Amino acid sequence: MIYSCICNAVALRKKYFIFAILFGFSCSEYFGRKPERFDQNVLDAIAAGISSQAASSCGRFNVAPIRGGVGSVTGNSNGTRTGFNIFGCTDSNALSTLGFPSTNIEFTSNGVRGSNEFSRIVSTSDFTSVGGTKNQSIEVTFQIDRADGYLDVIGNAAVSGTDANGPKLRLKTDTVQALNSNNAIAGVSGFPPSSPVGQTKTYCFDIHDEGGNPHLIGWDKACSATTDQDRRIGGYGFESFPAGASPGSKIGFVLNGVTLRTIIAGEMIAPH
């Protein structure tokens, strides 16, 4: 009883705090004292925080859009994204209900764990940007469980069963590799991060089709932690231009000695 009262009091104080922030910005605008430069992403983040406070494991959750992604041809992106908590899923049916069929996956309290290159998860939904274009953002929270393990993040993919074919970023213990849809390795410029065994990591990616070839961009942080400067050309954490096709608009993952906890996917967030 006491514990419940404390939790309710804390939750109530959070709601009052968020309301006070929103009320403050509203009043400052009314009285003509709104800051000259206020990032809409802040209000989006506050709103998403309200809607996701009760997010449960093994389910979808709301995340704030990241505005500012602009395609050279397609125009502005709303930066809409959807979160998927998968660390509480107890079986493949629960994961499929979220729109992610899987094979050769073990379900644990820490996430879904794969043991080899045949441990796979794919999406049933397309993730596109303005006009259905092949421009995506993907965020993953994961842990590599052994020294030779890796996580493949596959974007703009065509899916058959639980096999995803498309350009990919392979997250290894010591670096990040880029591969095209034919699994040919491409160079990665910038500062590809390491993912030491046993450490929980969160990476953000923007994957889009550029002139008929994929452009893969990444940051060693959550997408919500990227700044406007991070997302501008020249501010990327790392990037690659693997030659080849972008055969679809779905996403997929290969969990070779990896535990995957969370996926966030949606429209592009970076101008290009």
Q: Do the domain assignments include residue 51? A: no
CATH number at residue 245: 2.60.120.560
Q: Do the domain assignments include residue 12? A: no
Whole-model pTM: value is: 0.79
Q: How far apart are CA 104 and CA 121, in angstroms?
A: 9
pLDDT at 66: 87
How many domains, in total, are found in the chain?
1
For the chain, what is the radius of gyration of the CA atoms?
Answer: 19
pLDDT at 99: 97
> Could you report the per-residue pLDDT of 171-217, keeping only the tens digit for each?
999 999 999 999 999 999 999 999 999 999 999 999 988 888 899 99
pLDDT at 67: 67
pLDDT at 76: 52
Helices (H) and strands (E) in the chain, counts: 3, 20
pLDDT at residue 96 greater than cutoff 80 = yes
Q: How far apart are CA 240 and CA 217, in angstroms?
A: 7
More confident residue, 50 or 186: 186
Q: Do the domain assignments include residue 128? A: yes
Among candidates 193, 195, 244, 254, which has minimal Cα distance to 215?
244
The amino acid occupying position 91 is D
Q: Do the domain assignments include residue 130? A: yes
Q: Do the domain assignments include residue 18? A: no
Tell me how far apart the terminal alpha carbons of the chain are, to the nearest angstrom: 54
Lowest mean pLDDT among 4-8, 51-55, 113-117, 153-157: 51-55
Segments forming the whole domain that contains residue 258: 56-267
Average pLDDT of every residue of the chain: 82
Mean pLDDT of 40-48: 42
pLDDT at 6: 42
> Could you report the per-residue pLDDT of 229-272, keeping only the tens digit for each?
999 888 999 999 998 889 999 999 999 999 999 999 999 888 76
Q: Do the domain assignments include residue 4? A: no
Q: Do the domain assignments include residue 89? A: yes
Lowest mean pLDDT among 100-114, 130-144, 155-169: 130-144
pLDDT at 56: 56
pLDDT at 133: 83
Which residues, 6 or more positions from 152, have their beta carbon under 8 angstroms from its beta carbon?
168, 169, 170, 171, 179, 252, 253, 254, 256
Q: Do the domain assignments include residue 87? A: yes
pLDDT at 43: 41
Q: How far apart are CA 90 and CA 106, in angstroms?
A: 9
More confident residue, 171 or 9: 171
